[in-house]
Structure 1
Amino acid sequence: MARTGRPREFDKDKTLARALELFWSRGYGATSIQDLVDALAVERGSLYGTFGDKRRFYLEAVRLYWDVYERHLIAALDTDPLLPALREILTHPARLDELISDLGVPHGCLVGNTTAELVPHDSEATKIVTRSYARFTGIVSDALRRGQAAGEVTEAADPQIQAQLLLYIVQGLSLVSRAGLDRTAALAAIDTAIDALRA
């Protein structure tokens, strides 16, 4: 009878989630395969066999990050009133000091970090971040349209354009947060953007 090979000695989903935290806290370039082996307590051969090389592993982690974020975004904005929930989404990068994991403090948005580190030289990474940004603006613009129908959001604001502006705000905050930011000023800027949306 042919041998079927040894079963994997780790849970792929849990390993990927753990790797996501490591990539998020250190970045793609600063995370080596040996870092992953050490942090995940998984044999190097098992990682290669399951995820491929480091780049493939990283991109799979970015996809997981976005899937989790998108589900959170949709659930958060499916509420009435909308604007307090939208403010909570936008203030997330300004509250990074509250998001401590056992691997350290994640820096910014992993999709934004991928944009800075891999785009435009990596076509697959470019596709992932482009789709993620398009999904963000689509989800937020749909929510703003619902807010307009409910009389909460001003009719003078084009939902698609406003959603694009909010993408720039949240990604800009995520990038600036990596170098540290004035939290009070950041929250004031977000409040100004939210106030501009009120009916």
Structure 2
Amino acid sequence: MARTGRPRAFDKDEKLAAALNLFWSRGYAATSVQDLVDALGVERGSIYAAFGDKRDLYLEAVKLYWRQYEVELETAMRSVPLLPALRWALTNPVHLEQFATDLGVPQGCLMGNTSAELLPRDTDAQVIVAHSYQRFVDIVSDALQLAQERGEVVDTAPASAQAQMLLFFVQGFSLVSRAGPDKALSLAAVDAAIDSLRV
């Protein structure tokens, strides 16, 4: 009878979530395979067997990050009125201390961090990031279109252009927030962006 090998002795989803926290806290380049071994409590060979190499694991973690964020974003964008929900979406980088773990505090948006660290040389990462950015624009654009029809948001620009502006804002804001600017000034900038959409 052929041997089937030993069954995996850990929850793959749980370990992927732990890897996400580590990568988000430290970045891709600064996270070694040994760091992953220590943080996940899994042997190196088991990590390779379950996820592939470090890059494969990182890309899976980035996809998990986006899946979780997209659920939150879609839920928020169904809110009426919309502008408070948009403010929540834009202020996420300021409130990342809520995600503090034993591994440290996540630094900015992981999609933005991936753009800065791996693009354009990593085409697989580029596809993942481009998809997430387009999904952000699509989700927010649909919500803005409905808000325009309700008379809540100005219609001097197409909803798609407004959504693209907010993507640029939130990604720029996320990167700048890593430098630790004054939180009150950061929130004032968000309020100014929201006020520019208000009727």
Range into which the TM-score falls when normalised by the shorter chain: over 0.9
Offset, 1:171: 0.6
Partner of 1:96: 96
Offset, 1:94: 1.7
CA contact (8 A) 1:154 1:197 kept: yes
Partner of 1:187: 187
Runs (5+) with no aligned partner, structure 1: none
**SS of match in other structure, 1:152:** coil
1:40 aligns with 2:43: no
CA contact (8 A) 1:137 1:163 kept: yes
Partner of 2:137: 137
CA contact (8 A) 1:77 1:143 kept: yes
Offset, 1:182: 1.4
Taking only aligned residues, the RMSD between alpha carbons, in angstroms, comes to: 0.9
Comparing 93-102 with 22-31, which one deviates more in the overlay?
Answer: 93-102
The 1-side partners of 2:129 and 2:3 are apart by 41
The 1-side partners of 2:175 and 2:60 are apart by 22
Give the paired residue count: 199
Comparing 113-122 with 175-184, which one deviates more in the overlay?
Answer: 175-184
AA paired with 2:149? A
Partner of 2:50: 50
After superposition, give the CA deviation of every residue in 1:103-148 in whole Å (9 maximum; x if it has no partner).
1110001110000000001000111111111111111111100111
1:62 aligns with 2:39: no
Offset, 1:102: 2.1
Comparing 95-104 with 111-120, which one deviates more in the overlay?
Answer: 95-104
After superposition, give the CA deviation of every residue in 1:33-53 in whole Å (9 maximum; x if it has no partner).
110001110011110011000
Identity of aligned pairs, percent? 63
The 1-side partners of 2:62 and 2:26 are apart by 13
AA paired with 1:174? S
Partner of 2:151: 151
The 2-side partners of 1:128 and 1:8 are apart by 28
Comparing 97-106 with 23-32, which one deviates more in the overlay?
Answer: 97-106
Partner of 2:10: 10
